[in-house]
C-alpha cells in the first residue's frame, strides 16, 4: 500500500488507526533483539537515548554502548557499576567514569555549553552521588553548571552566603534527603523554576526517600516541581529543556 493510499483509507474509515500505524516505516529504530535503540529520540524530544544500567547485565550495557558509539551517538549510562565501566572501556577507549555519580560518558559531538547555567544545590555531603549524577547529565546535555553543596537548612546561613549564585541561574536543581526542606526554602527565595530531587538519605522513617519526596511535593513555596527519588538524571533532563528555551 502506498503512503497516500494508507492515509486515505484511514480517513475514509476503511482502515483503523492501529492498522494505519502498523504500516509505518521503521525510521529511528536500531534493533538489537534484547534492545531497540531509539535513534530518533534527540530530534524528537531534545534529549538523547540514554542507557539506564540498573537491571541490565554487564554484557547488555557494553553491547548497547558499543552500538551507539558505532552509530555516532553520544553515550551516557547511569547507575553503572565499575565492572560495567571496565567492559565499556574495552569497546570505547575514551569513555569516562564518575565513581560517585556512577555514570559512564562518552561524547563525540562538540557542542558548546549554554550561556545561562543550571545551579545544582545539595543539602548534605551524603547527597552528592545524586547531585553528581545530575551534574554529569547536565554537562553531557551541553549545559553550564554551578555547584552549591552542603548548604542544608540546619545551617541556613550557608545557603544565604551562596544565594547570589543560585538566583542568577536560569533553573535550579535542589538535591536533598531527610526532610528535604531545602527545596521549599530555596523556592521561597528565588524567581526561577526549582526542580526538587529527593534522596534516600536519612534515619529510619525517611523510608528510602519517601519523606523527602512527600516533603518536596507538598512545598509551600509554589514554583517547585519534583522528580523521582535519587533521580539526578531526570532532574538534569528537565533542567536542560528549560535552560535551552
Lookup: cell for 45:
524530544
Residues 48/41, Cβ–Cβ less than 8 Å: yes
User: Is 71 an interacting residue with respect to a copy of itself (CB under 8 A)?
Assistant: no
CB of 77 to a copy of itself, least distance (A): 12
User: Which of 75, 106, 127, 140 touches a copy of itself (CB under 8 A)?
Assistant: 127
Using CB under 8 A, count the residues that bind a copy of itself. 128
User: Is 136 an interacting residue with respect to a copy of itself (CB under 8 A)?
Assistant: no
Q: Which of residues 186-225 bind a copy of itself (CB under 8 A)?
A: 187-195, 198, 200-225
CB of 112 to a copy of itself, least distance (A): 19
Site string for a copy of itself, 21-60 (x = CB under 8 A): xx-xxxxxx--xxxxx-x-xx-xxxxx-xx-x-xxxx--x
Binding segment toward a copy of itself, per CB under 8 A, in 66-74, 86-94, 107-115, 156-164: 156-164
Lookup: cell for 51:
542507557
CB of 118 to a copy of itself, least distance (A): 12
Strands 103-106 and 96-98, by their bridges, are antiparallel
User: Is 72 an interacting residue with respect to a copy of itself (CB under 8 A)?
Assistant: no
Give me Rg for the CA atoms of the chain: 21
Q: Which of residues 84-103 bind a copy of itself (CB under 8 A)?
A: 100
User: Which of 102, 121, 124, 139 touches a copy of itself (CB under 8 A)?
Assistant: 124
Q: Which of residues 224-243 bind a copy of itself (CB under 8 A)?
A: 224-231, 233-235, 237-238, 241-242
Amino acid at each position: 500500500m502506498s503512503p497516500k493510499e494508507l492515509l486515505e483509507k484511514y480517513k475514509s474509515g476503511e482502515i483503523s488507526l492501529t492498522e494505519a500505524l502498523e504500516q509505518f516505516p521503521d525510521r529511528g529504530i536500531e534493533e538489537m533483539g534484547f534492545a531497540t535503540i531509539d535513534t530518533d529520540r534527540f530530534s524528537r524530544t531534545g534529549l538523547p537515548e540514554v542507557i539506564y544500567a540498573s537491571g541490565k547485565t554487564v554484557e547488555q550495557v557494553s553491547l548497547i554502548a558499543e552500538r551507539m558509539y558505532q552509530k555516532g551517538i553520544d553515550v551516557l549510562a547511569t547507575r553503572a557499576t565499575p565492572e560495567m565501566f571496565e567492559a565499556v572501556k574495552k569497546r570505547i577507549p575514551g569513555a569516562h567514569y564518575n565513581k560517585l555519580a556512577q555514570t559512564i560518558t562518552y561524547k563525540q559531538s562538540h557542542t558548546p555549553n549554554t550561556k545561562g547555567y543550571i545551579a545544582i544545590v545539595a543539602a548534605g555531603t551524603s547527597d552528592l552521588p545524586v547531585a553528581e549524577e545530575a551534574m554529569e547529565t547536565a554537562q553531557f546535555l551541553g549545559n553550564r553548571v554551578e555547584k552549591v553543596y552542603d548548604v542544608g537548612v540546619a545551617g541556613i546561613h550557608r545557603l544565604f552566603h551562596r544565594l547570589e549564585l543560585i538566583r542568577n541561574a536560569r533553573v535550579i536543581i535542589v538535591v536533598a534527603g531527610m526532610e528535604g526542606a531545602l527545596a521549599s526554602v530555596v523556592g521561597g527565595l528565588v524567581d526561577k523554576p526549582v526542580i526538587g530531587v529527593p534522596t534516600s538519605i536519612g534515619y529510619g522513617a525517611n523510608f528510602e526517600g519517601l519523606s523527602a519526596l512527600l516533603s518536596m511535593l507538598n512545598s509551600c513555596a509554589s514554583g517547585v516541581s519534583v522528580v523521582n527519588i535519587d533521580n539526578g538524571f531526570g532532574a538534569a533532563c528537565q533542567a536542560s529543556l528549560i535552560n535551552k528555551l
